[in-house]
Amino acid sequence: MRSVHEQNDSFDNVSEREMLALEQIESNPEITQRQLSKNIGIALGLTNVLIKNLAQKGYIKASQAGWKRWLYNLTPEGFTHKINLTQKYISRTISHYNVIKQTIRTDMALTSLHMESRVAIIGTSDFAELVYLALKNHGVEDIDSFGLFAYPGQKFLGMQVRELSPKALQAYDKIFFADMGSDAGAFDSLGKSIPKNKIVAFTLDGKPVEAV
C-alpha cells in the first residue's frame, strides 16, 4: 500500500489556499470573507487569517468601501505570486496523474486489475478525479465513489457518494484511497479489515508503504 500522506511537494495546502483566494479576489474584488470561506472550503476564522497574511505579504491591498464592507485588490506582486502558484499547481497535477497512470498500468500488467474489475474510490477531491480519469483511460468502467464523511445526496462526478464501511468495500476488487486531506490512520485502518493487496494509495515519489 502506498501512503498518500508522505509527500515531497513544494505545493502544499497553504499554497493552494493562497492560489484559490487570489483567483477569487481577482475575479470579484467585492467578495466577502464569508463568501471566500465558502468558495475555498475553509473555516471563516481561517479565511480571516489567510486574508491578513496575503495583505502582510503585499499580495493584496484591502480598502474600506463602507461600513463592514471591504474591497480587495491584487497588487503586482500578487499577480506574479498567483501565476507562480498556478504553474506549481499544474506541475503537481501532472505529476499526480503520471503516478496514478503508472500505478494502474502496473496493476493491470500484473492482472490484479482488469477492465471488468469492480473499483472503489475513497475521496471526492481533485486528486480523486484524477484517479477516476486514469481508471477510465485504462478501460475500467465499474467504479463507485465513497467518502470518509459522506452526506445524504452527495455527488462525485455524477455518482452517488456512498458511506464508507469495511463491509461495503469487501465487494470490490481494488480500492483506491484518494482522500488527500485525511489523517494517516484513516487508510491504515483499512488494512486491518481489507486485504492489503486490494488497497492502493499514493506518494508523489511512488515509494511503497505498508499499511499497519
At residue 206, the pLDDT reads 42
Q: Is the pTM of this model over 0.85?
A: no
Chain centroid offset of residue 67 CA? 37
Judge whether residue 29 has pLDDT over 70. yes
Domains contained in the chain, CATH given: 13-79 (1.10.10.10), 95-200 (3.40.50.720)
In tens, the pLDDT along 58-86 reads 999 988 877 778 899 999 999 999 999 99
Chain centroid offset of residue 80 CA? 24
In tens, the pLDDT along 105-134 reads 887 777 778 888 899 998 888 888 888 999
Closest residue by Cα to residue 25 from 84, 66, 82, 80: 82
CA distances from 92 to 10, 77, 82, 103, 153 (A): 9, 22, 15, 17, 31
The maximal CA–CA distance of the chain, rounded, in angstroms, is 65
| Dihedrals phi, psi of 152, to nearest 5 degrees | -55, 130
